């Protein structure tokens, strides 16, 4: 019988348990730079016995900032601060991975003040923002930026890097037939729609080495007609495993409508009330040999334990519960397995930073 406190291997990285803090935007940086508040926040998570911390995503080019207070990784000036961050986390035998993304049109922040890239001239459904269709030169520029972000992550001491290919960010839009209506080699067939992602992964691998963990976050489905299907996501995951990606995290594009979509069925699989994307993750984990992380709506230790022992899923990602209880995993490890305190009110996004306003005032 598998245990939630078993070790997990991602490439050559050993993680002390099966719990991950999934990427969480904190809205606390100083122009993208790490500061004392964030040092303390991440060190507290590590003290709380979390096996793997995935950072809030970092923008890979200076001009593209879809959210205030987010991390940056677009030049070498970030490296020294991240070295200290990694050292603080490593003191407690937790591992830390940098998530990187190009947010694209999934934003309402400073729209009109900057050029925002997109695969095609299609507005993002939840924001209404429209971007500039990318030329081949634009694509090469962003691919190179992703590659350099991996080199900087490794030099900073991060234990790996995660490509954000979900949540209607730029990579997800290239994968989606709804957002990607290109007629060149980057559009049309799934093979073509994957080309941008594959070029990004290849650039990142070339800037690091075969032993450096590179993870990929994918959306299970776009969950609307004409969008990326779960069947296509399964194929993407299988192809990326063949290329050498080290782990897959399964999430979803639900445009803030998670509660409304619970119980709805897509391609024969339901969005669950707890572990929203668990059914989709189980199928992907069955397809692959590399670790699969499921994220979304996990409230109970027993739920994670049941999923672990009825599937090939390797890890469980949590976000909002750890804003409420940064020592949640330590509590569970010590035998107090009551469900999370987080009531999922989604009031944790504030202008002063993202934190629990109910229990941690």
Active-site residues, by number, are 169
Contacts of 118 (CB under 8 A, 6+ apart): 104, 105, 130, 131, 132, 133, 134, 170, 173, 179
Nearest to 316 by CA among 297, 343, 288, 336: 297
């Amino acid at each position: 019988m598998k245990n939630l406190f078993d070790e997990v291997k991602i490439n050559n990285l050993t993680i002390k348990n099966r719990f991950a803090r999934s990427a969480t935007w904190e809205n606390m940086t100083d122009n993208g730079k790490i500061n004392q508040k964030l040092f303390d926040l991440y060190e507290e998570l590590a003290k709380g016995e979390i096996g793997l911390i995935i950072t809030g995503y970092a923008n890979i080019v200076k001009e593209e900032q879809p959210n205030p207070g987010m991390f940056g990784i677009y030049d070498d000036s970030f490296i020294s601060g991240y070295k200290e961050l990694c050292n603080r986390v490593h003191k407690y035998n937790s591992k830390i991975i940098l998530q990187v993304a190009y947010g694209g049109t999934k934003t309402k922040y400073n729209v009109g003040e900057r050029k925002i890239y997109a695969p095609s001239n299609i507005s993002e459904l939840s924001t209404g923002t429209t971007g500039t269709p990318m030329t081949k030169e634009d694509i090469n520029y962003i691919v190179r930026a992703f590659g350099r972000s991996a080199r900087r992550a490794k030099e900073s001491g991060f234990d790996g890097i995660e490509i954000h290919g979900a949540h209607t960010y730029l990579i997800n839009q290239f994968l989606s037939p709804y957002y990607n209506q290109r007629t060149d080699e980057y559009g049309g067939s799934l093979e073509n729609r994957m080309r941008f992602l594959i070029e990004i992964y290849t650039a990142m691998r070339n800037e690091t080495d075969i032993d450096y963990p590179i993870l990929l976050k994918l959306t299970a489905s776009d969950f609307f007609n004409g969008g990326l299907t779960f069947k296509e996501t399964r194929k993407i995951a299988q192809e990326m495993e063949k290329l050498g990606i080290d782990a897959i995290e399964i999430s979803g594009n639900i445009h803030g409508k998670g509660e409304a979509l619970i119980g709805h069925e897509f391609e024969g699989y339901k969005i669950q009330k707890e572990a929203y994307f668990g059914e989709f993750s189980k199928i992907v984990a069955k397809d692959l040999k590399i670790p699969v992380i499921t994220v979304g709506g996990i409230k109970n230790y027993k739920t994670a334990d049941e999923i672990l022992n009825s599937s090939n899923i390797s890890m469980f990602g949590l976000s909002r519960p750890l804003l409420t209880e940064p020592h949640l995993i330590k509590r569970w490890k010590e035998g107090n397995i009551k469900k999370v305190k987080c009531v999922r009110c989604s009031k944790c996004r504030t202008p002063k930073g993202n934190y629990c306003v109910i229990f941690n005032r």
